[in-house]
Structure formats: C-alpha cells, structure tokens
Amino acid sequence: LSCRSLENERTLAIVKPDGISGNYTISITNIILQSGFTIQTHLTLHLAQDTVTTFYAEHSTKTFFPSLINYMTSGPVLIMVLEKVNAIADWRTLIGPTDARKAKITHPHSIRAMCVEDLRRNCVHGSDSHESAAREISFFFPGYAVILDPS
C-alpha cells in the first residue's frame, strides 16, 4: 500500500500584479493559511520581460503571449512556495478557472472570482502539474524541491 498521497508536496503560487494593486494579498494569504497550506518561502519581485518569457515558455506561440508578458511585468508580484498534502491540485482548485469572469459564475468562492478582472487578468497563478511545480519552484527558488527528501 502506497502512502505517497499522504506526503506533503509543494506548489508555486503567484499573486499577479492586479492581485497586489487591488490589495488582495492579505485576503489571499489568509485563504492559503486557512486552507492548511504553509508558506515555505516568498519573494516580492517586479518581473523582467525575459523572466516572464521563460516562465511562461509553454505559451510562447499563443496569440495572447505579448499581452501576458505585458500584464505580468506591469507591477510587482508575490511569489510563494506553498506546502501541504496534495498542494498542487488543491491550490488549483482554490484559485478557480483561468477566465475570472466565468469563475465568478461557476466557482463563486474561488480566489479568481473574488478579484475578478477579465480573461487575462486573473489575480493568481498556480502550477498545473507535478512537473510544472518542480520546474517553477526551482526557477524562482533554487534549492527548494516539489517534494521533501524521503528520509
């Protein structure tokens, strides 16, 4: 019997520029802590274009890529490593669907519904898989792993 699902894992969360400028940071961190996550480390940065280009490389061919770069470099962001059992999937559930306007209707209690702007400005980021979490955590926080060393 595997106990893997009961082990803590980590995910990368970002409060995007509209989340910071809209003063949602405290509400979001309260939700994070009340949902049983611990914040392992955090960093406030004004991201450079190159950084966003690399971070969101999977979207480089999409038509919305230039506007995504513009958006993510428009102000400071808060980048956090969150940890708990099932952190990756649970954080994605908490943030809600990508389109914050739709989130308002279909997932009214989600974080993106709380700070709804529009399709592109959706307040928060969450790693979408174990592989993404591993890449994204080490991208901003070298030395932090997605799962703790089994010992």
Interface with ligand RTP by CB under 6 A: which residues? 59, 64, 68, 98, 119-120, 122, 125-126, 128
Count of residues making up the chain: 151
The radius of gyration of the chain's CA atoms, rounded to the nearest angstrom, is 15
126, interface contact from ligand RTP, Mg ion, none, CB < 5-8 Å by kind: ligand RTP
Beta carbon nearer to ligand RTP, 68 or 89:
68
Residue type present at position 38: T
Q: Where is 77: in which H helix or E strand?
A: strand 77-85
Active site residue 109: no
Longest distance between any two alpha carbons in the chain, whole Å: 48
Beta carbon nearer to ligand RTP, 128 or 147:
128
11, interface contact from ligand RTP, Mg ion, none, CB < 5-8 Å by kind: none
The catalytically annotated residue of 42, 59, 125, 130 is 125
Query: Which residues are 84's β-sheet partners?
Result: 9
